[in-house]
Amino acid sequence: MTLSEAQQLIERMYSAKDRKRGAAGTFLWLMEEIGELAAAIGEGQAHSEKEAEFADVLAWLVTLANVEGVDLTRAMEKYRNGCPGCAEMVCRCDEKK
Ligand SMILES: [Mg+2]
Ligand SMILES: [Zn+2]
C-alpha cells in the first residue's frame, strides 16, 4: 500500500467522523496510539502486537494529514534527494557540526 492509497482508504472509511472531530481531537488519538506503541516495544510484546500498534499510529497520522489537507507523498518529497539537514543520502549532520 502506498501513502496515497493509505490516505484514500482512511478518507473513505473515516472522513466524515474525522472532520467532525477536527485536528485537536485527532491529535489526541494519535498520541494515545503512540503510547500504545511505546508499551508494545517497552514491554517486549509479540511482534504481531508491535505490528498492530505501528499500523494504528500510521493510520492516525494519515488521518491527521487528511484532516489538515496534507498530501503525505508530496510532503515526503523533502527526503527524496537526501537528508533535509545535510543534503547527503547517508546523513552526515553530526560530522558537519
Ligand atoms: Mg493501538
Ligand atoms: Zn543529515
pLDDT at 97: 64
Give how far Cα 16 sits from Cα of 13, 37, 56, 63, 65, Å. 8, 26, 19, 11, 14
d(CA 74, ligand 2 centre) in Å: 20
| Predicted pLDDT of residue 36 | 98
Compute the distance from residue 55 Cα to the ligand 1 centre, in Å: 8
Say how many Å lie between the CA of residue 75 and the centre of ligand 2. 18
Alpha carbons 58 and 63: distance in angstroms, whole number: 8
- pTM metric for this prediction: 0.91
The confidence score (pLDDT) of residue 87 equals 94
Q: Digits of tens for pLDDT over the chain (97 positions)? A: 999 999 999 999 999 999 899 999 999 999 999 999 999 999 999 999 999 999 999 999 999 999 999 999 999 999 999 999 999 999 999 996 6
